[in-house]
Amino acid sequence: MSATLLVEDARKHFPSGDTVVRALDGVTVEARPGELIGIMGASGSGKSTMLLIAGLLEPPTDGAVYFRGECVSHPEADLDRLRDFRRRNIGFVFQKANLIPFLSALDNVALALQIDDVPVAQARDYAHELLVELGLGHRVDNRPARLSGGEQQRVAIARALANDPPLILADEPTAALDSVRSRQVMELFRTIADERQASVMVVTHDSRSIDLFDRVYEFSDGRILSENHSAAASTLVAR
């Protein structure tokens, strides 16, 4: 079976005055169904750039993105035309939950379905189900300001899951959370990978959750320094 996501030999170069910033310089990563993949590395090593390319939000300067074996991106791809594809297939979670402040938790999640033409009642029922699944059944009517950071992030994850995407991409989703809530969110991603057989790729600086990952790609200067399976990955942080 082909990988849900394969980013192959991706480069991203930004012109900067007389020089070029090589944000990515030949990076290959993949995620298969049921896998939770970690992306780690120093600040500026290209992690977010890779995620933007994997999520079809930025075209690579060179290289390609394959989704279930099919090439979906090349340097000339029209990313606007990929919007529907993204909405159906990719769930995004960022460092900040970015919820709509005047909508309840339930409506924030339901909106993602309504945009996809799901009737309101059905959207709200499924949003409710998802929030219960994520342990927020008692918070469905709260607006974001009345939720803790961890709760807001779980609403954002519910929203990312609403369309049942086979691929979830998360960029430092726990950076604003304390260690207990970070762990809970990372465990949630593990469960999502296991139970939904989704492919989940998480950029994180949090080495404490490394045991949950199937594989960790360590980035350095736009390249992959190492690719570790979880047992080996725990030695990576000890260095």
Binding residues for ligand ATP, rule: CB under 6 A, are 14, 21, 23, 41, 43-49
Q: Select 94 or 126, whichever has its Cβ closest to Mg ion.
A: 94
Q: Select 131 or 169, whichever has its Cβ closest to ligand ATP.
A: 169
Q: Select 48 or 204, whichever has its Cβ closest to Mg ion.
A: 48
Site string for Mg ion, 160-179 (x = CB under 5 A): --------------------
Look at residue 23 and give the partner it binds from ligand ATP, Mg ion, none, a contact being a CB closer than 5 to 8 Å depending on partner kind: ligand ATP
With a CB cutoff of 8 Å and minimum separation 6, the contacts of 232 are none
Where does this chain touch Mg ion (CB under 5 A) — which range of 42-50, 119-127, 150-158, 176-184? 42-50
Residue 17, classified by CB atoms within 10 Å of its CB into exposed (0-12), middle (13-18) or buried (19+), is exposed
b/e map of 94-115 (b: 16 or more CB within 10 Å)? Answer: bbebebeeeebbbbbbbbbbbe
Look at residue 108 and give the partner it binds from ligand ATP, Mg ion, none, a contact being a CB closer than 5 to 8 Å depending on partner kind: none
Closest residue by beta carbon to Mg ion: 48
Q: Select 103 or 175, whichever has its Cβ closest to Mg ion.
A: 175
Q: Please, what is the minimum distance in Å from the beta carbon of residue 100 to ligand ATP?
A: 25
Alpha-carbon distance 134 to 200, whole Å? Answer: 16
Decide: 82 and 66 in contact? Cβ < 8 Å: no
Phi, psi of 171 (to 5 degrees): -110, 105
Q: Select 43 or 80, whichever has its Cβ closest to ligand ATP.
A: 43
Decide: 203 and 170 in contact? Cβ < 8 Å: yes
Where does this chain touch Mg ion (CB under 5 A) — which range of 17-25, 43-51, 134-142, 158-166? 43-51
Q: Please, what is the minimum distance in Å from the beta carbon of residue 16 to ligand ATP?
A: 6
Q: Select 13 or 143, whichever has its Cβ closest to ligand ATP.
A: 13
Alpha-carbon distance 209 to 226, whole Å? Answer: 18
DSSP 212: G
The yes or no reply on residue 48 touching Mg ion (CB under 5 A) is yes
Alpha-carbon distance 209 to 231, whole Å? Answer: 12
Instruction: Sheet containing 223-229: give its strands across.
Output: 90-93, 167-171, 199-203, 36-41, 215-220, 223-229
Give the footprint of Mg ion on this chain (CB under 5 A).
48
